[in-house]
Chains A and B, each alone.
Chain A
């Protein structure tokens, strides 16, 4: 099962740190930017709240909700000791789960729960230490299945984009295009897709598709972000309906230079903030230094994925170091005064000595012919 390697890593880390038991809790409220502790260790994504109790010396208990999802939980996780209940947190707080065991207990995932719920769990396991770092390390471990999932997700994203481009015709509705691609992405095996699509003559951002009809002269910014086994990858793209004007081609070329410079800075040990600063410097040299902040941009890239969200947001505030195996999107999303909001970039993986773009077709400003 896809969580096996990571579960082994977790156990090894537990033993090294003297932790006897990890109690990991996952919310039903899935966010593609957040770690899902239960999914990290089991490969199973629960519909309701869920929890996993991992014992350092072997054995794990999975608590899932709703109770009628037991069959799927068993099939996806490969685990046998499963409590399928109506309320996973209530079960966790009940006598069925001992508050104390011999040795230390670590809690993980509580920061993503409602505060009141997290408080109740902390109260029960009052002696527990913070286990989030253990789960993050397990999720970020060089798990072959995670990289394979990322590669598969990239294939799916690229195929989705390939199918999307011909749909960008004047008169077509944003939401109809998005609905179709959302479905096609699922048919290709993605369990979810964080998909944004916005068209405008002079856009200011990107959001979910609206009822707007596409027109000749629209710039269409797109994010296709499929998930395979909890690993999301993002394909950021910009297309123009018609023949792109010169200023748009120029600005898109500038963003590609920003991307390439950022990519060149990415290697194991490089600080994320330095990558972001390097990308900003390219824009500053072009006279757009004042635009390197919200609301003109948000981040220069980000991790994502319910298994690993390393290295976090690519911003000048993030001083964490890139590691081999990190998979994230590097995207100079940027509002520029002449062209409006543009979005270009690639999902990349940090290799032993640099970074590799995962797509087969490099991003560029795509132009959709208008009859």
Chain B
């Protein structure tokens, strides 16, 4: 679900914490080299920023906290990473990434020009790009200047497919992130069982506990449990405002991998909780490779309607991995993917939100 992007991404993320074997990164690199060779590309430009760096992270473990980074990759050559931000930050970046060739972004355009020219004997290589639609002027303008003669082909779909594949390692990482949410949430839920609840404060407490437990990029929304409205804490209103119950949406990353979930706080209407869980179970059973999100949404609305409940299903299905990707109606579920299923139901002035994580083999 959409949350409020912070001024700087907080939390723990280093190469050591990611605990991914260097051989895994080497194998990923070989996959990309094979892709480039198959397409007869001589170079690949990958953009990543603090909102979306999934392919960059897939290859380098690096996730920008505030600005952006660009990787230049030639088949068989070490990857070069250009990092926006003050030069004094580069030593800290080193802890996050497998990449040895780290450079300040200031030298990007001059290096890009030399790289795009290729070897004198071979001439300019055919170039591919990833995530370049997100690039802002400091990256996009040099690219358009240097690569004016030949357009850069997009390999977004192919590379995102590689990065999204739910291998056993990815499954373990996503499951670990999801488990952290549940572990932290259970503590909050226990403390709030008898109500009343201050949902905004609970969201803040969740963030603190999740960070203390080692999470990265913790983002939350909260609601008062009396409607399907969820909001970020934006400084307005009294964070100490209490309600008889509350709901949190939490998203976070652990070791680079993201998960999200709903958490209900305070005393709950068991009947409504059962309705939400039954609908979720039906969706889970239906959610197989080849099934569209639209058909899952139709199931949710049918069952909620029968129960006389209004439903929040905007975030029904999201793909989990190196980032959370909300899926639109036209999307179809795939094998070897991790997903979160999330919905909220409202009846008689009470809301219940339920979620689950799903690994499709």
Chain A residues packing against B (C-beta within 8 Å): 28-32, 45, 47-48, 65-69, 71-72, 75-76, 111-118, 175-176, 178-180, 182-183, 186-187, 189-196, 204-211, 225, 227-229, 232, 294-296, 298, 335, 341
Closest chain B residue to A176 by CB distance? Answer: B212
Per the bound structure, the CA–CA distance linking A69 and B140 in Å amounts to 31
Give a binary string over B1-25; 1 marks a CB under 8 Å from any A CB, 0 the rest. Answer: 1111111111110100100000000
CB-based contact A182/B86 at 8 Å: no
Query: Cβ of B5: which chain A residues have Cβ within 8 Å of it?
Result: 28-30, 47
CB-based contact B230/A68 at 8 Å: yes
Is B285 close to A, CB under 8 A?
A: no
Give a binary string over B50-89; 1 marks a CB under 8 Å from any A CB, 0 the rest. Answer: 1100000000000001110000000000000000001111
Given contacts A31-B66, A180-B208, 14 further A-B contacts (CB under 8 A): A28-B2, A47-B5, A66-B314, A72-B234, A114-B135, A114-B140, A117-B133, A118-B137, A191-B235, A192-B6, A194-B8, A205-B92, A210-B14, A295-B87
Query: Cβ of B4: which chain A residues have Cβ within 8 Å of it?
Result: 30, 45, 47, 191-192
CB-based contact A29/B205 at 8 Å: no
Query: Cβ of A341: which chain B residues have Cβ within 8 Å of it?
Result: 88
Secondary structure dominating the interface of B: loop
Query: Cβ of A48: which chain B residues have Cβ within 8 Å of it?
Result: 2
Instruction: Kindly identify which residue among A28, A72, A179, A335 contacts B88, using a CB–CB cutoff of 8 Å.
Output: A335
Query: Cβ of B134: which chain A residues have Cβ within 8 Å of it?
Result: 114
Query: Cβ of A175: which chain B residues have Cβ within 8 Å of it?
Result: 11-12, 211-212
Query: Cβ of B214: which chain A residues have Cβ within 8 Å of it?
Result: 211
Instruction: Kindly identify which residue among A113, A209, A228, A298 contacts B86, using a CB–CB cutoff of 8 Å.
Output: A298
Is B91 close to A, CB under 8 A?
A: yes
- Among B49, B65, B235, chain A packs the most CB atoms within 10 A around the CB of B235
Chain B 96-146 interface residues, beta-carbon cutoff 8 Å to A: 132-137, 139-141
Query: Cβ of A187: which chain B residues have Cβ within 8 Å of it?
Result: 201, 204, 239
Closest chain A residue to B50 by CB distance? Answer: A29
Per the bound structure, the CA–CA distance linking A196 and B88 in Å amounts to 14
Closest chain B residue to A71 by CB distance? Answer: B229
Query: Cβ of B12: which chain A residues have Cβ within 8 Å of it?
Result: 175, 210-211
Query: What are 14 of the A-B contact pairs (CB < 8 Å)?
Result: A30-B6, A32-B7, A68-B230, A69-B231, A72-B234, A113-B136, A116-B140, A190-B235, A191-B4, A191-B232, A191-B235, A210-B95, A211-B12, A294-B86
Query: Cβ of A210: which chain B residues have Cβ within 8 Å of it?
Result: 12, 14, 95
Query: Cβ of B8: which chain A residues have Cβ within 8 Å of it?
Result: 32, 194-196, 208
Per the bound structure, the CA–CA distance linking A202 and B107 in Å amounts to 28
Distance in angstroms from A119 CB to nearest chain B CB is 9
Instruction: Kindly identify which residue among A29, A115, A180, A204 contacts B141, using a CB–CB cutoff of 8 Å.
Output: A115
Query: Cβ of A67: which chain B residues have Cβ within 8 Å of it?
Result: 314
CB-based contact B204/A76 at 8 Å: no
Instruction: Kindly identify which residue among B17, B204, B235 contacts A228, using a CB–CB cutoff of 8 Å.
Output: B235
Query: Cβ of A229: which chain B residues have Cβ within 8 Å of it?
Result: 235
Is B33 close to A, CB under 8 A?
A: no
Distance in angstroms from B345 CB to nearest chain A CB is 15
CB-based contact A65/B229 at 8 Å: no
CB-based contact B233/A205 at 8 Å: no
Instruction: Kindly identify which residue among B1, B10, B235 contacts A208, using a CB–CB cutoff of 8 Å.
Output: B10
- Among A45, A72, A76, A207, chain B packs the most CB atoms within 10 A around the CB of A207
Query: Cβ of B232: which chain A residues have Cβ within 8 Å of it?
Result: 47, 191
Distance in angstroms from B191 CB to nearest chain A CB is 15
CB-based contact B234/A45 at 8 Å: yes
Is B306 close to A, CB under 8 A?
A: no
CB-based contact A182/B211 at 8 Å: yes
CB-based contact A295/B231 at 8 Å: no
- Among A48, A71, A186, chain B packs the most CB atoms within 10 A around the CB of A186
Instruction: Kindly identify which residue among B10, B51, B91, B92 contacts A29, using a CB–CB cutoff of 8 Å.
Output: B51
CB-based contact A186/B10 at 8 Å: no
CB-based contact B7/A179 at 8 Å: no
Distance in angstroms from B66 CB to nearest chain A CB is 7
CB-based contact A68/B234 at 8 Å: no
Query: Cβ of B3: which chain A residues have Cβ within 8 Å of it?
Result: 47
Chain B 187-240 interface residues, beta-carbon cutoff 8 Å to A: 201, 204-205, 207-208, 211-212, 214, 228-236, 239
Give a binary string over B252-295; 1 marks a CB under 8 Å from any A CB, 0 the rest. Answer: 00000000000000000000000000000000000000000000
Distance in angstroms from B138 CB to nearest chain A CB is 9
Query: Cβ of B314: which chain A residues have Cβ within 8 Å of it?
Result: 66-68
- Among A176, A190, A208, chain B packs the most CB atoms within 10 A around the CB of A208
Distance in angstroms from B311 CB to nearest chain A CB is 12
Query: Cβ of A182: which chain B residues have Cβ within 8 Å of it?
Result: 10, 207-208, 211
Closest chain A residue to B143 by CB distance? Answer: A115
CB-based contact A207/B239 at 8 Å: no
CB-based contact B88/A232 at 8 Å: no
Distance in angstroms from B123 CB to nearest chain A CB is 27
Chain B 153-200 interface residues, beta-carbon cutoff 8 Å to A: none
Query: Cβ of A192: which chain B residues have Cβ within 8 Å of it?
Result: 4, 6-7, 235
Distance in angstroms from A68 CB to nearest chain B CB is 6
Is B312 close to A, CB under 8 A?
A: yes
Per the bound structure, the CA–CA distance linking A114 and B8 in Å amounts to 19
Per the bound structure, the CA–CA distance linking A28 and B4 in Å amounts to 8
Instruction: Kindly identify which residue among B1, B67, B88, B201 contacts A294, using a CB–CB cutoff of 8 Å.
Output: B88
With A30-B4, A227-B235 known to touch, is A295 a contact of B133 (CB < 8 Å)? no
CB-based contact B51/A28 at 8 Å: yes
CB-based contact B92/A47 at 8 Å: no
Closest chain A residue to B238 by CB distance? Answer: A189
Distance in angstroms from A244 CB to nearest chain B CB is 22
Query: Cβ of A45: which chain B residues have Cβ within 8 Å of it?
Result: 4, 234
CB-based contact A227/B7 at 8 Å: yes
Per the bound structure, the CA–CA distance linking A66 and B232 in Å amounts to 12
